[in-house]
Structure 1
Amino acid sequence: MQGRPVDAYPALAPEAERGSVRRVTVVGEEILSRPCAEAVEFGTPELSALIDDMFLTMHVAEGAGLAANQVGVDLRLFVYDCPDDDGVRHVGHLLNPVLDPVDPASRRLVEDAEGCLSVPGAVMRVPRPDRVVARGFDKDGQPLVIEGTGYFARCLQHEADHLDGHTYLDRLSRRDRKDAVRQMADRREDVFARRAARTADLDR
């Protein structure tokens, strides 16, 4: 499993301290609706810089996770800074993630509120398994296995969906999807304004 518990961790992840803010793509843009390309190069300065930028962009947008195609990059990569249901904070990144199959006989589906930085302003209830195991690699090509429960499991599944070309809207009924689109139309400008203000605060 990835990582070890620590006694303290900075509010702003070290990666974010090094990063630059990138534009977040919005549902309807083509890059969000197709599977992302596998990572084949590891340990490069460009990959490290992308991860740093994604962490800061996620922080500014007040997200718990962010996939590379959400910043316009066609790569199977996501980052996360997300609590589980016990309040334990999980911070990291994963390249070329694959989720272990969930046994239908033993899985527990939980329906809970879910939003998306690429569907700004909309929040809908989405059923997902409450436990997941994700396998992939870190930026240096070292194998990783991440187990998530509760809200963190939801985050891992949400970001993996992005890399397959899906948003949570694809999991909704037609009626609920229309509701989410209405919410986005009503609230997106407020969301964009808040992100712009948080970005401006970084320079102060």
Structure 2
Amino acid sequence: MKREIIMFGSQVLRKPCLPVKEVDDDIRALVGDLFDSMRAAEGVGLAAPQISVLKRVCIIDVSHQQPEYPPVALINPVLTDYKGEQVGEEGCLSFPDLYGDVKRHAWVEVEATDINGQSFKTAGEGFYARALQHEINHLDGKLFIDLISPLKRQLMRGALRRLKKEGEAWDRENA
């Protein structure tokens, strides 16, 4: 089921998520909702806090750009290894139409749990590595806007103020 994606300004996006203790039907439904919401918004990744769920669950689908990486759901993901650096443009579904260059690891390995409760590892480079790091950051309450240059953030000031008001309004309506 498609859910509303929360905008920057909501305090939910700044809160660290709690680990998932058991992969059950509720978690599998959450993964389905994440995929539905991400695809409806034409994104490449989405984390549970972006739909107001403070659990360590995220999904990634970069298969249209890197077909060697199929869509993946990650429960309790942990970055276990990394190499190199890359700088590339990022956006975020919680920051519509805003983009900035972010420095990330060029290659990463992540250990996580799948929707069947089984541990697995995934590793990749390029855009896939960038998406993994971006979504895991969301689970820790860290946003891509925190990683862009101060000058770029200053240039986005007006748009960030507008989004912040939307996010704060969402918090008030859902308190």
TM-score using structure 2 length: 0.85
Gaps of 5+ in 2: 164-175
Aligned residues: 163
Point out which structure has higher relative CO (alpha carbons under 8 A, 6+ apart): 2
Percentage identity across aligned positions?
A: 33
Q: Deviations over 1:66-104 (max 9, x none)?
A: 0000000010000111148754342010111100143xx
Residue 147 of structure 2 aligns with which residue?
A: 171
Residue 137 of structure 2 aligns with which residue?
A: 161
Residue 75 of structure 1 aligns with which residue?
A: 55
Q: Which amino acid aligns with 1:38?
A: P
Secondary structure in 1 matching 2:12: helix
C-alpha separation between the residues in 2 aligned to 1:45 and 1:141?
A: 11
Relative to structure 1, the CA distance from residue 172 to residue 38 in structure 2 (aligned partners, 3 Å threshold; closer, same or farther) is same
8 Å contact from structure 2 (residues 59, 73) kept in 1:
yes
Q: Which amino acid aligns with 1:41?
A: E
Secondary structure in 2 matching 1:50: helix
For the pair 1:41 / 2:22, whether they are aligned, the reply is: yes
8 Å contact from structure 2 (residues 61, 70) kept in 1:
yes
Residue 173 of structure 1 and its aligned partner are, at CA, apart by 2.6
Gaps of 5+ in 1: 1-19, 189-204
Name the Cα RMSD after superposition: 1.9
C-alpha separation between the residues in 1 aligned to 2:50 and 2:132?
A: 15
C-alpha separation between the residues in 1 aligned to 2:64 and 2:107?
A: 11
C-alpha separation between the residues in 2 aligned to 1:82 and 1:181?
A: 29
Runs of 4+ in 1 over 3 A off after TM superposition: 83-87, 180-186
C-alpha separation between the residues in 1 aligned to 2:34 and 2:7?
A: 15
Choose the corresponding residue for 1:62, options 8, 33, 42.
42
Choose the corresponding residue for 2:125, options 138, 142, 149.
149
C-alpha separation between the residues in 1 aligned to 2:127 and 2:8?
A: 23
Q: Deviations over 1:14-72 (max 9, x none)?
A: xxxxxx11000111111110210000021x22111111111010001111000000000
